[in-house]
Amino acid sequence: MLPNDRGFEAPDLSIDLRDVPSVGLEPPTEAKLENIDHLTGLHNRRWLDAALAQEITNNPGGFSLLFIDLDGLKTINDKRGHAAGDSHIRTSAEAISQCLRNSTEHDKRLSRPKDDIAEGVVRVGGDEFVVLLRGVSDQSTVDSIQSRIH
């Protein structure tokens, strides 16, 4: 096909090759990308290491960690393929984040904004997640959040 002034054309296809102006969105910096799990968009182990060091140093009120391991991922990968397994991981990541957002709406002991607490969801690898609960150190609050996730 020969290009024309609008792009390339085929009988059932037209591709327009114009520049799309920026709408004020800045691309993520390399440092931000290094701390993001590319499958889920959650923070990764590298971010967690830095966040834990910061919490230990700067948070006298304490914090809690929840460790989550998804069941059945190997079976999903073996029977339905890795794309289905990836989808399961993404769906689970969103469900965990949503549970945390909902937990802050129902639990008045959590003083952090609902989006702030959901920021602490981390995919550390494979089917493993960690939830960093900043400023949460009492067992009853941790149990309440854990029950919503489970």
Residues annotated as part of the active site: 127
- What CA–CA distance (Å, rounded) separates 30 from 116? 22
- What CA–CA distance (Å, rounded) separates 145 from 98? 11
- What CA–CA distance (Å, rounded) separates 101 from 114? 5
Q: Are 129 and 43 in contact (CB under 8 A)?
A: no
Q: Are 85 and 66 in contact (CB under 8 A)?
A: no
